[in-house]
Amino acid sequence: MSSLLPILVSHALVFMLLFSIALFGFIIARRLVLKRQDAVFESRYLQIEQDVLRAISAAEDSAAVEVAERYRSRRKILTQVLIDFLDLIGGRGQAVLKVIFDCALRERCLKDLRSPFLARRLQATRLAGLLTSAPEKALLVGLLQDKPIIRLAAVNTLVQFPDEGSLALVFQAFEQESCPNIHTYTNILYGAGERIEPYVQACLKKGPPVEKLTLLIELAGVVPLPALYREVAACADHPEKEVRIKVAKALSKFLIPESYELLEKMSGDPEWEVQAQALKGLGKLKNPAALVILTRGLFSPVWHVRYNAREGLLNLGSLGIRRLEEISRQKADKFASDMASMALEDFSYSRLG
């Protein structure tokens, strides 16, 4: 062993040294090659950019087709130009970009949707979402069974197309989705706006698991979808606290007078989180009748309830401000008095601002 060690060390030394030199050479060579490539990319980018700009300004779509034909072989640069423009322009300009994409890149993009490589499928799915005007729905539907990251990209793409079939597919995927990913759906579906109303309604009626129910109610509140008031209100007595919190939150976003009684009832919920949300909602409704409940909330032992009650009172305008002044002067409950003082101070700052 001891005679073998020096040989081993000297061999390792030579190997490591050669490897290091090769690695250093590789880093330098890569830098030089990239520098050259960047220069080429930049000059071609500028050229393509000018031609795309000309196509956007032209009255006919034929200019766009011509650009697509000319740069079909410069896939990477053309894609980058189109994506960069997409961030900057809207209206007809975007339509021109999509024409160029359809003529020059769409075929390859659709082919990549079937690629065995995950990253390529993902890139193609995102590109389809950004640039195609009519994706091959069948291909995207196939991706709804793919890995989570691809599935979500496919859902994102489908949501951007206004036909009802796409949304139906997205909700179908949502129903089948495992819980860790469903939060992302809410963010994606938000983009579709009020179009999702019938699907959310149908989902709510089916009685989904708690996690999905919570997100659907939250979504109904965020968009908002006040037409779903009845379905949302029906969950106000749900045994799960999280669901009740979201119901109170959604009702405070709907801002419909009918929700007053329900929110009043929820402000007496045994869980403080529900109480806090309900008080916030009551304030937003700006109904002077809520003054008593909001005042009671300000004396709650729970900080968040007090905080939301103070927000509610501020929302009631001069009536609430007067009540806050009264509470700030009382000495019986220091916490309520502090919260009221803070609210008044913030109010005066907001007026200054």
Judged by beta carbon, residue 163 or residue 346, the one nearer another protein is 346
Closest CA relative to residue 129, chosen from 86, 183, 85: 86
Q: Should residue 90 be labelled a site residue for another protein when binding is judged by CB under 8 A?
A: no
Q: Should residue 9 be labelled a site residue for another protein when binding is judged by CB under 8 A?
A: yes
Q: Should residue 130 be labelled a site residue for another protein when binding is judged by CB under 8 A?
A: yes
Q: Should residue 349 be labelled a site residue for another protein when binding is judged by CB under 8 A?
A: yes
Q: Which of 191, 209, 268, 288 is close enough to bind another protein by CB under 8 A?
A: 191
Q: Which of 47, 94, 184, 201 is close enough to bind another protein by CB under 8 A?
A: 184
Judged by beta carbon, residue 9 or residue 134, the one nearer another protein is 9
Say if CB 81 and CB 45 are below 8 A apart.
yes
Residues 274, 276, 280, 286: is their CA dihedral positive or negative? Answer: positive
Q: Which of 17, 46, 234, 292 is close enough to bind another protein by CB under 8 A?
A: 17
Judged by beta carbon, residue 4 or residue 138, the one nearer another protein is 4
Q: Should residue 303 be labelled a site residue for another protein when binding is judged by CB under 8 A?
A: yes
Closest CA relative to residue 278, chosen from 300, 303, 301, 259: 259
Q: Should residue 27 be labelled a site residue for another protein when binding is judged by CB under 8 A?
A: yes
Q: Should residue 339 be labelled a site residue for another protein when binding is judged by CB under 8 A?
A: yes
Q: Which of 123, 160, 201, 315 is close enough to bind another protein by CB under 8 A?
A: 123
Judged by beta carbon, residue 13 or residue 134, the one nearer another protein is 13
- Give the binding range for another protein (CB under 8 A) out of 8-16, 49-57, 258-266, 278-286: 8-16
Q: Should residue 245 be labelled a site residue for another protein when binding is judged by CB under 8 A?
A: no
Q: Should residue 39 be labelled a site residue for another protein when binding is judged by CB under 8 A?
A: no
What is the total count of residues that contact another protein (CB under 8 A)? 54
**Which of positions 261-300 make contact with another protein (CB under 8 A)?**
none
Q: Should residue 251 be labelled a site residue for another protein when binding is judged by CB under 8 A?
A: no
Q: Measured between alpha carbons, how far is 282 from 177 in angstroms, rounded to an integer?
A: 35
Q: Which of 57, 145, 187, 330 is close enough to bind another protein by CB under 8 A?
A: 187
- Smallest gap from residue 35 Cβ to another protein (A): 8
Q: Measured between alpha carbons, how far is 295 from 128 in angstroms, rounded to an integer?
A: 54
Say if CB 286 and CB 318 are below 8 A apart.
no
**Which of positions 194-233 make contact with another protein (CB under 8 A)?**
218, 222-223
Q: Which of 31, 206, 265, 329 is close enough to bind another protein by CB under 8 A?
A: 31
- Smallest gap from residue 188 Cβ to another protein (A): 9
Q: Which residues bind another protein (CB under 8 A)?
A: 5-6, 9-10, 12-13, 16-17, 19-20, 23-24, 26-28, 30-32, 34-35, 83, 87, 119, 122-123, 126-127, 130, 149, 152, 179-181, 183-184, 186-187, 190-191, 218, 222-223, 303-304, 335, 338-339, 341-342, 345-346, 349, 352-353
